[in-house]
Amino acid sequence: MFGVHVLGAPRHPERIPYGTTCHMGYHMHMARREVLVQLEDDLVDRLDRLAKTLGTNRSELLRRGARAIIDAEDALVADRELVAAYRLQPPEPALVRSAVRLAARTAPEW
């Protein structure tokens, strides 16, 4: 719905598609590639209902989902690298004790 059709003109120029940049009133569209994905009928129906509720389309939901998966994997890799770095050079015990005391004083009461 928000893609670019064959001649390169936006289908809905009054809308700014998610993930595009806008400078000086011009809309820059990112290059896209069509990908065939097989999904169960129930999943497609649920995506379509959600897309309608959110005022978007199935393709945009799938793009958001793909980005979320990639972002989550990037965060997981960063966490693993941080843990590995701490294993190579653990924090000073005095610093850890200070952090624990500070956390105990500033933690919200549940």
Q: Mark 5-31 as b/e (b = at least 16 C-beta within 10 Å).
A: eeeeebeeeeeebeeeeeeeeeeeeee
Tokens at residue 66, please? Answer: 């793909």
Q: Please give the backbone phi and psi of residue 90, each rounded to the nearest 5 degrees, phi first.
A: -65, 155
Domain ranges of the chain: 1-32, 39-98
Tokens at residue 57, please? Answer: 């389309």
Mean residue pLDDT of the chain comes to 81
The larger pLDDT score, comparing residue 87 to residue 77, is at 77
Give the start-end residues of each E strand in the chain.
21-23, 26-28
pTM, two decimals, is 0.56
Place of tokens 């940049």: 21
Query: With bands split at pLDDT 50, 70 and 90, how would you rate the model's confidence at 17?
Result: low
